[in-house]
Structure 1
């Protein structure tokens, strides 16, 4: 164990006097309402030179015809993102070279394509379209992300017009699925059907999308802007880590509505969102959403990309000032004070069989770390039609929820999911493990994630069967390929951040370990960021060994009813290695 030494600071009496310096002018942060709109970096320049949303016409009329080599650089590495397209990683480049190569050296001639779901119910027809795109244009790939998207790989620009035509035919889109824009929304997978919901937010999400997604006025933000809206008491949309969240509550006088949260985000500078203490009615929600997004557009920091998220503005302003600016400059009226959300009633992944308010059932099913593929999606469409179910929704936990299953067909549906690679009766770690895209396709990644996590799940199902049968709490294992936390590692019971580590003088892929993180919708009373253990790094090949060791220790030492997160935050470091 390493020890730290410190040198006492000189006291004021001991410090030599220094000549006074003239105050320096604060460097502009690129806040449009403070500093003006003159671009302070190339990213801001290309957004002003050509509106990003207009690139779709060039994709359809020029690039799809003339191919990859015809794509202008600012379109390829900038504006394409506004339509859900990123170049994917070239095969064969190891993680140790991720930070040393230029983007053009890392990228392939193929794309990742992100399709928004925004909490919408996917009909069998929509599932069949998604499956067909996977099979015909994406080499069978399709992943459910933890933002309720479908992500494809191996997409060629020549096929984008046909892909968009098919998505349009079933009401799906890729508009602002990436880029400095309003990203896909998180919505409750059980909106409108759950017996215990506070309110159904489906129409609220639909109206915000109708008014503002694709609206040029909000298509040039400082960086990404993430939204979560749910009226379910399980707190199932990870509201603490979004730029804006509307969380279902009941006002004692005004009835059902939303509690307003702003400024959450993870990555390398994690920060949980904060309540503004304001109550928002469903009718006010679109205007409030526009107001918060507009504050970000007008006051967000644009000079440095690593400071260009709403969480940094909220940290400087505080929630009281943020609420006042929202009310005075953007709404023109005051929002009433409101109550906070109650503690989550149960885990928000909705896995298992649950009765709906209409007497039918919804069934939550787990793939392995979000991987579904074209055959799974098309097969699910056939299964829904066979049993007479209504639709399916994606979740913020890389799961699928089937809606409207007739009571006498539930067993048939549950059994029919298994051959598709889905299960409504998952093991503890299949249910609670998530993984980002990783080095297989992502240019930012350092290590493999999906295959590593899948292998760990299989190992742990065998090794820990004696322990997991008796545990009464979930243990979330989230695996991320780089520091950017797409898989929410700081909020996991066990979060793994990919990096190159050195063991006995040899460099190899491995992970830094985060322990004891949580969000309210993960079965915790409140959300919190996890801790790291000094010097603890685990090789990729030893992840299952480490998780088995730490879970057995938790099972032996926990107090009655104690969660893994609570135990990990109080345990001595020696118990966590």
Structure 2
């Protein structure tokens, strides 16, 4: 192992680092060579375990076949945290670490044009992004304080609310990871399977257990799945990520159409309250809407149905190509009828009864839970909107203090990067609203403030090409001043690369990061492809949005573009009832460029 003792002369340390980098490159080359030999004459295989294809057909599959990635925690605690960053071999660093919520962070100062050019080790900084799981978006005051304190003391006060209802920290040192694990687990949280080819954090309605119109509290079902299957070797080697969502709301609030599996509350005329089952949704570069299987799931068997669907993905998922290793491709190949038949015959051993569909969203149904809302117990919850999910450890601690002073012990994160404080007595509502406002967390924000979402972006992400959080903040600043009385919400989602962590395809205005040509300078600069008119929750009218051929927007020109199309929408819509998405699909092209 290369000695990285910081007491050595600077020249010796630099030479040691250079040698370690050379070793990493050679190790990566040998892995690629070995993989190429293993994959010889396997081009006709898809890597489906159910078909007997167990040969690892790409480097990720070889890494998982070598041993359960969850076992890397022992090496983190006993070796790497003591020996330092450069002691970590590539297979653990960029592979197995994900199973414990850790991604290497982007090295500072590398522009977006280098993202697809540099080798992984050249993009790596010696720090990590860490995700802390908060399934259902549920945090206690103690849990929020724990994350906030970790952020302030070990993550340079970074903390972002992701659209998977968890908190992401940055600038994490490998030396601090064991202590972070200890602290989060001490308060009932965990980082296990926050990333990786596993069941990711389970989305849940952020108003579970408190909403006045709730049909069922899905928290017991979420907890049941976590206790039985999260961290189990049975599902720690899936073809790729597997995203789950539950809601007890009559109108779903968990973006069920774009999850691998979603359980939406419905009331069966004979069997009572349970769930409608959806499978096979997903976005990224090949977006697909989920399929409603038309069956009714009783709450007590939800974990069995979840296990069956996850097992189908594990056994029948396509493992050869990472670009096809999602459940949505199995659905596309099979169709919903065959999928349901395989689920019932091969995995459940019983038929599921037919059931009703959830209600469709109506005009005015936002589903973000921002504002002041009465709970079914007579208390209130207060929902606020951080700009693009950006908060900090200090703010998390302050939110915990505000909640506790109001007599609350429950904080929730939402799939739309919002924060709720639950269980606020009526006479404490103003205290909570004003306390959060002092933190720039508004319960009555402007429309663009309320409706902007952004991924991590080039600030920390190795896949990103453009800046996102700061760009989103500029959009909010400019547009809320320009349109203070906007009477129809316009959602703006900003993604730093061609993937869709920020769900660009389902926004009114979605920006997908890429390099674009600056007409003034004639040079390639950071910018975006534009998607317009994405919409969910409308049944047969769901759509991924309209792309404008050959039209790109530069990063600097993005606020001006949003202003222009918003102005055109307000001038050209047929009535105040016409949504931006509806207008975007019928508008002349010159109005949306």
Q: Give the 3 Å change call, closer, same or farther, for CA 397–425 of structure 1 in structure 2.
A: same
Superposition deviation, residue 43 in structure 1: 1.2
1:414 pairs, out of 433, 437, 451, with 433
1:389 and 2:408 are equivalent in the alignment: yes
Q: Which residue of 2 aligns with 1:444?
A: 463
Q: Which residue of 1 aligns with 2:240?
A: 223
Q: Which residue of 1 aligns with 2:163?
A: 146
Asked whether the equivalents of residues 137 and 203 of structure 2 are also in contact (C-alpha less than 8 Å), the reply is no
Q: Which residue of 1 aligns with 2:495?
A: 480
- What is the CA–CA distance in structure 2 between the aligned matches of 1:508 and 1:373, rounded to whole Å? 30
TM-score normalised by the chain length of structure 2 = 0.91
Q: Which residue of 2 aligns with 1:574?
A: 590
1:197 pairs, out of 200, 205, 214, with 214
SS of residue paired to 1:87: strand
TM-score normalised by the chain length of structure 1 = 0.93
- What is the CA–CA distance in structure 2 between the aligned matches of 1:483 and 1:26, rounded to whole Å? 26
Q: Give the 3 Å change call, closer, same or farther, for CA 386–25 of structure 1 in structure 2.
A: closer
Asked whether the equivalents of residues 137 and 165 of structure 2 are also in contact (C-alpha less than 8 Å), the reply is no
- What is the CA–CA distance in structure 2 between the aligned matches of 1:161 and 1:168, rounded to whole Å? 11
- What is the CA–CA distance in structure 1 between the aligned matches of 2:221 and 2:542, rounded to whole Å? 25
Comparing 412-421 and 400-409, the one that deviates more? 412-421
SS of residue paired to 2:372: strand
Superposition deviation, residue 524 in structure 1: 8.8
- What is the CA–CA distance in structure 1 between the aligned matches of 2:586 and 2:272, rounded to whole Å? 39
- What is the CA–CA distance in structure 2 between the aligned matches of 1:551 and 1:241, rounded to whole Å? 26
What does residue range 242-321 of structure 1 map to in structure 2 within 5 Å? 242-321=259-338
Superposition deviation, residue 488 in structure 1: 0.1
- What is the CA–CA distance in structure 2 between the aligned matches of 1:157 and 1:58, rounded to whole Å? 11
- What is the CA–CA distance in structure 2 between the aligned matches of 1:51 and 1:138, rounded to whole Å? 28
Superposition deviation, residue 562 in structure 1: 1.2
SS of residue paired to 2:183: helix
- What is the CA–CA distance in structure 1 between the aligned matches of 2:587 and 2:311, rounded to whole Å? 44
- What is the CA–CA distance in structure 2 between the aligned matches of 1:109 and 1:517, rounded to whole Å? 38
Q: Which residue of 1 aligns with 2:25?
A: none
SS of residue paired to 1:532: strand
1:92 and 2:115 are equivalent in the alignment: no
- What is the CA–CA distance in structure 2 between the aligned matches of 1:383 and 1:536, rounded to whole Å? 46
- What is the CA–CA distance in structure 2 between the aligned matches of 1:347 and 1:327, rounded to whole Å? 35
Q: Which residue of 2 aligns with 1:129?
A: 146
SS of residue paired to 1:434: strand
Q: Which residue of 1 aligns with 2:33?
A: none
Asked whether the equivalents of residues 243 and 265 of structure 1 are also in contact (C-alpha less than 8 Å), the reply is yes
- What is the CA–CA distance in structure 1 between the aligned matches of 2:186 and 2:361, rounded to whole Å? 37
Asked whether the equivalents of residues 121 and 393 of structure 1 are also in contact (C-alpha less than 8 Å), the reply is yes
Q: Which residue of 1 aligns with 2:361?
A: 344
Q: Which residue of 2 aligns with 1:21?
A: none
Corresponding residue pairs, total: 548
Q: Give the 3 Å change call, closer, same or farther, for CA 90–338 of structure 1 in structure 2.
A: same
1:44 pairs, out of 61, 74, 90, with 61
SS of residue paired to 2:246: strand
What does residue range 47-126 of structure 1 map to in structure 2 within 5 Å? 47-126=64-143
- What is the CA–CA distance in structure 1 between the aligned matches of 2:541 and 2:108, rounded to whole Å? 41
Q: Give the 3 Å change call, closer, same or farther, for CA 572–511 of structure 1 in structure 2.
A: same
Superposition deviation, residue 390 in structure 1: 2.9
